[in-house]
Amino acid sequence: MAKMTPRTLSGFMELLPAPQQQMERMMDILRTTYSRYGFTPLDTPVIESSEVLLAKGGGETEKQIYRFSKGDADLSLRFDLTVPLAKYVALHYNDLAFPFRRYQIGKVYRGERAQRGRFREFYQADIDVIGDGKLDITNEAEIPAIIYQTFSALGLKRFQIRVNNRKILNGFYAMQELAEKSGDIMRTVDKLDKIGPQKVRDLLISEIALSETQADEILKFIAITGSNCEVLNALQGYAGKNEVFDTGLSELNTVVKYLAAFGIPEENFAVDLTIARGLDYYTGTVYETTLLDYPEIGSVCSGGRYDNLAEYYTDRQLPGVGISIGLTRLFYVLGEQGLLNPSLPTAPADVLILPMTEDLAPAIALATQLRQNGIRTQLYTEQKKFKAKMSYADKLAIPYVVFLGEDEINAGVVACKDMVSGEQTKFGFDETLQRIRVGLAEKNAGCVILEK
Amino acid sequence: MAKMTPRTLSGFMELLPAPQQQMERMMDILRTTYSRYGFTPLDTPVIESSEVLLAKGGGETEKQIYRFSKGDADLSLRFDLTVPLAKYVALHYNDLAFPFRRYQIGKVYRGERAQRGRFREFYQADIDVIGDGKLDITNEAEIPAIIYQTFSALGLKRFQIRVNNRKILNGFYAMQELAEKSGDIMRTVDKLDKIGPQKVRDLLISEIALSETQADEILKFIAITGSNCEVLNALQGYAGKNEVFDTGLSELNTVVKYLAAFGIPEENFAVDLTIARGLDYYTGTVYETTLLDYPEIGSVCSGGRYDNLAEYYTDRQLPGVGISIGLTRLFYVLGEQGLLNPSLPTAPADVLILPMTEDLAPAIALATQLRQNGIRTQLYTEQKKFKAKMSYADKLAIPYVVFLGEDEINAGVVACKDMVSGEQTKFGFDETLQRIRVGLAEKNAGCVILEK
């Protein structure tokens, strides 16, 4: 028979078993951390009706969308988790209690140009808090705590949550009578890291037609840096001139004020006036998170406050605040940078049992007993040479191999080999179990991410 | 602005938060049980190249496939998890250790006619063991143990794992010199439950052109019932006439022999000669699992042994055995039958903190402390009346509400209300935490499925 060469589409991540186990650990940590903050898990369809999904109009992403027909239906694959959330909240409004706090970890699809490290199918891991009409500023203050806990739980230390407030930016531009150009200005300022202040100034003058004075005012403003306290003090100098600015400054003060109570160390947080989050969507606090030793990766967790989640579906005002982690890309870059802890177990089983008797009943009973005690156990029953069996355990990095022969069965003991230390013991079931448990706890004690 | 009416496509399950929590519990149990047996989690793309996915030819499912173009690419959504597994194993053969044991819980897509309880996007939860060249019969004997543990962990008692062996059927038909018609015969016999033995006999004669004697022989054969022991004894009467039959009988004897060692009660297991699993794909042991009180639901977990997983991709012989649970449909029918335990917690949080002071710092510190101790905690900070806050906790069924006012802060205590019993306590943090933990353990003690 002619064979079809198996392949996986480019831009689609398909992991081998060991890295998949690392990915599963990361997802577990995200689920646990998000749950800890009172977010409920949601799952929405990957496919939506195109007219519903694209109600807002796709803009730049529209070309990237996987859109197709099935029968009479015009369908699209979701390209983020925010539009499906907007649809969900508008559709199920009467069945939800607000503030509605949900997390969702799911695959989204964008037909981007294939490129190393760019994915067409990738996981996003989102949390959002949605209010009905109003949403208190404390929710915006809590988000950095969640980001901090999430990355700390993954094992990172050298990261920084950078925060700004769009009202401060909008208010400032209004003071300069540049409100109408604020979108263009923010998009230009966003390039600061890449092209430097002088080129930003040039662009502001040449492309956005600002006067030299206006451009200098803007550069002076975004040059405000220092400790959180210093930045807030400098901003205080602009207060009293514009209501929106003052509201933004008050909100930013609140966010910073509760940092300590939320347990966020000062070094993991910075007020950064250059952050705007391109989208017009955000209206208050905005967040970016960068890895201090890998600035080239860009933000690994971004989001912000928005005033109107679902305006394309409902007249209700549904303000919210949320963040998103691009999980597939994060996992990829962590791997590329060698930051995934290689010493955490990735084996499919904790124990491999090698039966040494014709009758398998005692080995099966032992496997059942280990499983009932929470030990992931594989029974190896293929007809192979002993060496092949041991090399199977080696290849899969299974930490313990148990031998069960007539001698052990008659003596009521279990022969157990620690595949790392090489130590082999013969104890009764309870003691063997206890030793395996202690060993596994040690092996699992590390974090997913191991900074260099 | 004109609004687009939000909707979810028919045939796509989208759950409210409370049932979603029940679904998450079910998935957790499947993940835990599958892991316990040494299966590694896999995740493969939802989209594959059509020529790869449909290498086998789609047969009846081909019309149901979501197939579309993106640029030059001819793409399809996966319609099961078995073809992607075949591709995965053929593609990554050199990086895998065999037997390769993997589980996968993922969404698959079939554009079926919309119908109540039929889904176009649904989860399958599969396990498979793949051998390289050979695969020992013990793997087939272990599968019923995994099915038993899975459904027991979900809380079911009244279910039956029905097992047969295709070699017994093929051997029997060969004895009757009906080998060439065996596929047609099995498809007819498969209707036994629905149309009864007399109509099966009629069809065998009228449609498959069997003689009356042949039809009677077949009816006599599939009428063999009784305890496992009785069925095996009756089958022994056919032994010695056909090699394939004898191999099948020996395999079935092995599967039954190890039942007790694997801890499967006799009442949850039955040898059933009427089971064939329509597909030509299976070559040895086949499995179906039925809920005794809901036979109309059909099999909720099916599978079997196959000799050649990936023949469309590779010349290597890769035999395997696997089972699949149609999770979305199972969840749906359990809900329809009222079998989902309503007393298990479905709230997004274990504790809702209502701060009673202007300065939120003490409430935030308390939330942080609870979260560090593993308690899912929501801080409620919206400006609402007390009654509205309590009704929020009620609506979400959050089990504990904590009040933190000046008095409590000064006294170093926490006021905690059990929302079920109504009991309100004032204790220090440690004692409150302890009481909450005990209470949550009790509330979470039940099973997902509660038989009536």
Q: What is the DSSP letter of B122?
A: E
Residues of chain B contacting residue A313, judged by C-beta atoms under 8 Å apart? 3-6
Distance (Å, whole) CA B402 – CA B427: 11
How many of the other CB atoms lie within 10 Å of CB of B441?
9
Q: Cβ A46–B121 below 8 Å, yes or no?
A: yes
Q: Cβ B313–A51 below 8 Å, yes or no?
A: no
Ranges under pLDDT 70 in chain B: 1, 58-59, 278-279
CA distances from A239 to A189, A215, B410 (A): 22, 20, 36
**pLDDT for the residue B278:** 66
Q: What is the DSSP letter of A340?
A: B
Prior bond of A99 cis (ω within 30°): yes
Distance (Å, whole) CA B128 – CA B152: 20
If one compares A341 and A192, the residue with the highest pLDDT of the two is: A341
**B27 touching A (Cβ < 8 Å):** no
**CB-nearest partner of B15 from A13, A43, A96:** A43
Quote the tokens at residue B377: 């905690």
Prior bond of B99 cis (ω within 30°): yes
Compute CA B50 distance to the chain's CA centroid, rounded to the nearest angstrom.
27
- Report which secondary-structure segment, H or E, holds B130: strand B121-130
Residue A241: pLDDT over 90: yes
Question: In the predicted model, what is the mean pLDDT of residues A103-117?
Answer: 90
CA distance B221 to chain A (A): 31
How many of the other CB atoms lie within 10 Å of CB of A22?
20
**B55 touching A (Cβ < 8 Å):** yes
Distance between start and end Cα atoms, chain A: 51
Closest CA to A176 of A210, A128, A149, A133: A210
**CB-nearest partner of B361 from A261, A311, A362:** A261
Q: What is the DSSP letter of A322?
A: E
Q: What order of strands is seen across the sheet that includes strand A47-49? A: A47-49, A73-77, A67-70
Give the pLDDT band of residue A279 (cuts 50, 70, 90): low
**pLDDT for the residue A58:** 64
Distance (Å, whole) CA A349 – CA A356: 19
**pLDDT for the residue A423:** 96
Query: Under a CB-based contact definition with an 8 Å cutoff, are residues B354 and B402 in contact?
Result: yes
Q: What order of strands is seen across the sheet that includes strand A302-306? A: A40-41, A100-109, A121-130, A320-326, A302-306, A282-291, A159-165, A269-271
Q: Cβ A383–B138 below 8 Å, yes or no?
A: no
Distance (Å, whole) CA A360 – CA A315: 67
Torsion angle defined by CA atoms of residues B5, B10, B13 and B16, in that order, rounded to the nearest 10 degrees: 30
Which residues lie closer than 8 Å to A385 by C-beta, 6 or more apart? none
**pLDDT for the residue B117:** 81
Contacts with B, A 394-423, CB within 8 Å: 395-396
Distance (Å, whole) CA A151 – CA A162: 14
Q: What DSSP string describes A131-163?
A: -SS---THHHHHHHHHHHHHHHHHT--SEEEEE
Torsion angle defined by CA atoms of residues A232, A318, A32 and A284, in that order, rounded to the nearest 10 degrees: -10
Residues of chain A contacting residue B86, judged by C-beta atoms under 8 Å apart? 6
Q: Cβ A313–B6 below 8 Å, yes or no?
A: yes
CA distance A47 to chain B (A): 8
The percent of chain A in helix, strand and coil, each rounded to the nearest 5, is 40, 20, 40
CA distance A38 to chain B (A): 4
Q: Determine the 3-state secondary structure of B190 from DSSP.
A: coil
CA distances from A215 to A180, A183, A219 (A): 15, 15, 6
**B82 touching A (Cβ < 8 Å):** no
* φ/ψ of residue A208, rounded to 5: -105, 0
Q: Cβ A101–B24 below 8 Å, yes or no?
A: no
Looking at residue B236, its amino acid is Q
A161 forms beta bridges with: A269, A289
**pLDDT for the residue A117:** 81
**pLDDT for the residue A118:** 87
Q: Cβ A313–B4 below 8 Å, yes or no?
A: yes
**pLDDT for the residue A57:** 75
Q: Cβ A312–B111 below 8 Å, yes or no?
A: no
pLDDT by residue (tens digit) across A261-275?
A: 899 999 999 999 988
Distance (Å, whole) CA B123 – CA B43: 13
A222 forms beta bridges with: none
Rg over alpha carbons for chain B, rounded to the nearest Å, is 27
Question: In the predicted model, what is the mean pLDDT of residues A14-24?
Answer: 98
Interface-testing mutation among B50, B70, B78, B149, with chain A (most A C-beta atoms within 10 A) = B70
Q: For chains A and B, count residue pairs whose Cβ atoms are closer than 8 Å.
A: 254
**pLDDT for the residue A62:** 82
The percent of chain B in helix, strand and coil, each rounded to the nearest 5, is 40, 20, 35
CA distance A4 to chain B (A): 5
**pLDDT for the residue A50:** 96
Rg over alpha carbons for chain A, rounded to the nearest Å, is 27
Q: What is the DSSP letter of B181?
A: G
Query: Under a CB-based contact definition with an 8 Å cutoff, are residues B31 and B41 in contact?
Result: yes
Distance (Å, whole) CA A142 – CA B377: 12
Quote the tokens at residue A18: 């060991």
A424 forms beta bridges with: A417
Question: In the predicted model, what is the mean pLDDT of residues A175-200?
Answer: 88
**A9 touching B (Cβ < 8 Å):** yes
**A72 touching B (Cβ < 8 Å):** no
**pLDDT for the residue A63:** 85
Distance between start and end Cα atoms, chain B: 51
> How, if at all, do strands B40-41 and A121-130 pair?
unpaired
**A306 touching B (Cβ < 8 Å):** no
**A91 touching B (Cβ < 8 Å):** yes
CA distances from A355 to A223, A436, B149, B318, B392 (A): 70, 18, 22, 24, 57
Which residues lie closer than 8 Å to B116 by C-beta, 6 or more apart? none
Q: What order of strands is seen across the sheet that includes strand B67-70? A: B47-49, B73-77, B67-70
Question: In the predicted model, what is the mean pLDDT of residues A347-363?
Answer: 96
Residue A276: pLDDT over 90: no
Residues of chain A contacting residue B313, judged by C-beta atoms under 8 Å apart? 3-6
How many of the other CB atoms lie within 10 Å of CB of B271?
25
Q: Cβ B376–A3 below 8 Å, yes or no?
A: no
Q: What is the DSSP letter of B412?
A: T
Distance (Å, whole) CA B284 – CA B135: 12
Compute CA A363 distance to the chain's CA centroid, rounded to the nearest angstrom.
42
Q: What order of strands is seen across the sheet that includes strand A414-418? A: A377-379, A351-355, A400-404, A414-418, A424-427
**pLDDT for the residue A67:** 96
Distance (Å, whole) CA B40 – CA B134: 20
CA distance B110 to chain A (A): 11
Q: Where do runs of H (alpha helix) occur along B305-428?
A: 327-336, 361-372, 386-396, 406-411
10 Å CB burial of residue A410 (0-12, 13-18, 19+) is exposed
Q: What is the DSSP letter of A12?
A: B
**Assembly ipTM:** 0.95
pLDDT by residue (tens digit) across A291-346?
A: 999 988 889 999 999 999 999 999 999 999 999 999 999 999 999 999 999 999 99
Torsion angle defined by CA atoms of residues A192, A266, A288 and A318, in that order, rounded to the nearest 10 degrees: -130
Which residues lie closer than 8 Å to A114 by C-beta, 6 or more apart? A10, A11, A120
Residues of chain A contacting residue B360, judged by C-beta atoms under 8 Å apart? 138, 258, 261
